[in-house]
Structure 1
Amino acid sequence: MSQSNSLEKIGVGHPQAIAGLLQVVETTEDEETRREATYSLQKIGQGNLQAIAGLV
């Protein structure tokens, strides 16, 4: 199980999980890892302006 999937399981709207996923999206060079983090962020970051900004 990837770290992205683990963070997703923490729960919807959890600010530390969202921050961790945003960091992965912004810093990883591995496309598959970035894709998984983006997918997880879409699921748990709904309505979170920081998460939305990170996906745009």
Structure 2
Amino acid sequence: MNQDQVKGNIKDAAGKVQEKVGQVFDNRDQQAKGVEKQAEGTVQRVVGNVKDTFKR
């Protein structure tokens, strides 16, 4: 596992938490930011997967 994969997983988890907090407090802005952060995490994790594949 490389740094991009780890950072992507962290961003994804943080985005899920942020989205849930937004749901609890009925804050659509926080929900949207959480979803956006999850997407960033997914992209970063995929970039890490590609890098890992090319290293092999």
In our comparison, the structure showing a higher alpha carbon Rg is 2
TM-score (norm 2): 0.41
Which is richer in helix?
Answer: 2
Q: Which has the higher contact order (CA 8 A, sep 6+)?
A: 2
TM-score by length of 1: 0.41
